[in-house]
Amino acid sequence: MKALVVKNTGSWYQLKTEDGRLIDARLKGNFRLKDIKSTNPVAVGDIVLIEENLGATASISEIENRKNYMIRRASNLSKQSHIIAANIDQAFLIVTVNYPVTTPAFIDRFLSTTEAYRIPALILFNKTDSYSNEDKEYMDALIHLYRTIGYACYSISALADKDLSFMQDLLKDKITLFSGHSGVGKSTIINRLIPGTRQKTQEISKYHNKGMHTTTFSEMIELPEGGYIIDTPGIKGFGAFDMDGVEISHYFPEIFRFSHDCKFNNCSHRKEPGCAVRKAVEAQYISESRYRSYLSMMDDESDGKYRGLGVNGYKTNK
């Protein structure tokens, strides 16, 4: 029987079966023998094959091939990677320019990963009701930057805005990943979109200006109009994974466009003569913040922090 993984609680998975039942499951004993190098061999959004047991539980025997997945470098480096979610139609990055601060570097690492896995992404700037005039000017500058590159951007206040119907239209009949730092308002937005969900929310630490973790495990939440939101725990950093150094520029659309005019095909856009990308940065056709993010990811690659994974997020021999 096939089932959809709708929640991951660490040792147990909650599944939705083809006939609409919710059932708890664990991995079948020999499943762990496979060459899986991620912290979570099964991710929310996976379609799995199961064998039902006595006591209304099941064993997961196999994962179907994934359409795509979002992955980041795991904090536990011995496991190398962490799959955030699988089989995603689109990704919403929830950001705040203050309360807490989301840096452009974090945004760029997230967007480059969605580019790598061909997942459409948009940026949702939240908490506009709490911003100073300076905060709003900075937000407007970021929105202009990312819209110029080609990313849809929206600004909202999940607490103060009376109408979020535009979001319901964007989410309808799609599987959408919600991601961002703790405290940016993911749970508040979900509570507004799906009354009765009651996702936990928590105040920002005034001392650190950082969010406190309220979502502990990834979970798929069904939308009344059709589709799912994948709510994920807040993440402090986004360590990109599964990118070769020569490929990183491919995942920055504006850098990739100018790279065609570089003198050398394998130009790293650092010190090579005839680099069209560096000229574009100097001429302000490419923002300095985006270029710095690119260089930072190149430095990660040179330190050996990237490793190759196959289509299902399993280790390969690149």
DSSP SS3 for 277: helix
Token look-up 């650092």 returns 270
Global pTM value = 0.84
The reported pLDDT for the residue numbered 247 is: 87
The reported pLDDT for the residue numbered 233 is: 82
Q: What are the extents of the domains in the chain?
A: 2-64, 70-231, 245-302
The reported pLDDT for the residue numbered 40 is: 76
CA–CA separation, 243 and 298 (whole Å): 9
DSSP SS3 for 98: coil
How many other CB atoms are found less than 10 A from the CB of residue 162? 6
Q: Which fold has domain 245-302?
A: Ribonucleotide Reductase Protein R1; domain 1 (1.10.40)
The CATH number of the domain covering residues in 2-64? 2.40.50.140
Report the interhelical angle of 288-302 vs 133-149 (nearest 10°). Answer: 70
The reported pLDDT for the residue numbered 205 is: 46
H-state helical runs in 150-227 = 165-171, 186-193
The reported pLDDT for the residue numbered 211 is: 46
How many other CB atoms are found less than 10 A from the CB of residue 95? 27
CA–CA separation, 165 and 206 (whole Å): 31
**What is the H or E stretch that residue 115 is in?**
helix 104-116
The reported pLDDT for the residue numbered 242 is: 62
How many other CB atoms are found less than 10 A from the CB of residue 237? 12
pLDDT digits (tens, 9 = 90+) for 98-121: 999 999 999 999 999 999 999 999
Token look-up 């936990």 returns 200
Nearest to 133 by CA among 124, 123, 145, 141: 141
Architecture of the domain whose range is 70-231: 3-Layer(aba) Sandwich (3.40)
pLDDT under 70: residue ranges of the chain? 30-38, 74-80, 198-216, 236-242, 244, 301-318
- Vertex 171 angle, CA 19 and 42, to 5°: 50
Token look-up 């011995």 returns 78
